[in-house]
Amino acid sequence: MDNTIVATHDTHAEEHHHSLPQLRHHFETEEQQREAGTFGMWLFLLTEIMFFGGLFFAYLLYRNWYNPAFVAASNQLSIPMGTVNTAILITSGFFMALAVWAAEVRKQSLLVMFLILTTVFGCAFLGVKYFEYKEKWEKHHIPGASFDVSEFINPPVSAKTGKPIEEPLSPDMARKTQIFFVLYFAMTGMHALHMIIGIVLLFWLIARARKGDFSSGYVAPIENFGLYWHFVDIVWIFLFPLLYLINRHPGT
């Protein structure tokens, strides 16, 4: 073995004409560049896991400490809206997955279409979220000075059974519903913020996709954005049962 630092043959010159224009000079091959990009994106998602992780732990703690308050407050959320929104978000993610496929098989018009569908469903999710937030506003369930606990202390009486529809809470416990709503807004708000950032990026990707940037073999931005978008989905997949479905069988 030769004991020096020898050089590889300069294969660059030959490689260059069939490599992508997007190959940056410090990478040897496209493969290396693509894998570096994916790996970098995953590491970024790890930071996201830990970022949301802090909130999830806070949720776990207070849900156990103030379980009755969490149950009562959770039941104020609308199951139909939550379920529909979950479906909408999953659909958006599904189209994103298809968009990645379209880019990989270099079908430009399909790619653009799927990206647009991803965006549309993403916006629909935010739209539903808006109505949910609005309802909370009307019911005075936004934490803060105007937060109203009376409904948790004296729940409305059901017409059918003549009993309160919800277990009444002691005033002290009722005040803890505010913690639930704080976490609800913090977690869904942080999630929505990620959605908004994603949608802005989607507009940019759509514009570039229409120019054909991603349908000639250069798919990294689409793939990596897809990872981000699916991650945001995953956060919601956990948020939905944790926030909406704590205990939907009162009295039994």
Residue 90 Cβ vs other proteins, minimum distance, rounded to whole Å: 5
Residue 76 Cβ vs other proteins, minimum distance, rounded to whole Å: 15
Q: What is the DSSP string of 50-100?
A: HHHHHHHHHHHHHHHHTHHHHHHHHTTS-HHHHHHHHHHHHHHHHHHHHHH
Output 151 or 181, the one with its CB closest to other proteins.
181
Output 104 or 135, the one with its CB closest to other proteins.
104
Residue 102 Cβ vs other proteins, minimum distance, rounded to whole Å: 9
Residue 165 Cβ vs other proteins, minimum distance, rounded to whole Å: 14
Output 127 or 241, the one with its CB closest to other proteins.
241
Output 178 or 199, the one with its CB closest to other proteins.
178
What one-character DSSP code corresponds to residue 181?
H
Say if CB 141 and CB 147 are below 8 A apart: yes
Say if CB 99 and CB 223 are below 8 A apart: no
Please provide the distance, in angstroms rounded to a whole number, between the alpha carbons at the two ends of the chain.
78
- Give the integer Cα–Cα distance in Å for 111 and 130: 29
